[in-house]
Amino acid sequence: MSKASAGSSSQQPNTASIDPFVKLQRLIDYQFNDVSLLKQALTHKSAHRQHNERLEFLGDAVLGMIVGEHLFKAFPNSPEGKLTRMRSAIVKGDTLAEIALEKGLGEFIQLGAGELKSGGKQRYSILADVVESIIGAIYLDAGMNQCYDFIHAWFGARIAKLDPDVHPKDAKTRLQEYLQSRGIELPVYEVVDIKGKDHNQTFTVSCNTVTLSDPIQAQGASRKRAEQIAAQLTLEKLQDD
């Protein structure tokens, strides 16, 4: 992949003083010919009228095609239904948001004051959209081959774990099975806060289990989404402990 050029000095630069767009290009291992595309990819509609929704649309299509082609070649005996399920596991919002969190993309997202105050940099829907927008920006900047490199670098490990005969379970199901296998009472989910207008609400949900002294809270664009995130965080906490 195309990399940002390193300085001639052997001493590492102070990353705190690096322009955020330079820093991000190093992080994603791709240097844009047109940096304005990257800036737009990181701009939420709450921050500016030149936002990332169109790039998100394009990136979604590119990601689906590249992942679909890879699965088509990698699983020549799998029927359409299994290929579709595997592709969905990779391109779904949860997976994209997890990748965004792993890569630390939240700090680069440009948000309006309201979204910023409500925790938009950690909101799964916004994080997922930014991953798709970056893919769309790379496609416009350099074409499909560069997108292949980027997607396989960022999604390759997850794609390699796919099994056409395995049906993935959601976080609430996995947490329930984890607790049941240990004879522990099932969790209780409770909506503790709802913010925003009807068409753009943020739900805060707590997941209460007898094994943890404090409930785990999470936010999502819907109650269902918030419950899934809370269940995932609770399961990770229990497994760590």
The residue among 94, 153, 160, 83 whose CA lies nearest residue 125 is 94
Q: How far apart are CA 236 and CA 234, in angstroms?
A: 5
pLDDT digits (tens, 9 = 90+) for 49-72: 999 999 999 999 999 999 999 999
Question: What's the pTM?
Answer: 0.69
| pLDDT at 94 (0 to 100) | 82
Tokens of 98: 């997890």
Chain center to CA of 183: 33
Give me the residues paired with residue 219 across strands.
204
pLDDT band at residue 119 using 50, 70 and 90 as cut-offs: confident
pLDDT digits (tens, 9 = 90+) for 175-200: 998 899 888 999 999 999 998 877 77
CA distances from 61 to 34, 86, 139, 174, 240 (A): 21, 16, 11, 30, 37
Tokens of 63: 């990601």
User: 3-class DSSP state for residue 14?
Assistant: coil
Q: Which residues are catalytic?
A: 60, 132
Q: How far apart are CA 218 and CA 128, in angstroms?
A: 16
The residue among 117, 123, 134, 121 whose CA lies nearest residue 52 is 134
- Quick one: what percent of the chain has pLDDT higher than 90? 66
Tell me the average pLDDT across 5-14.
Answer: 42
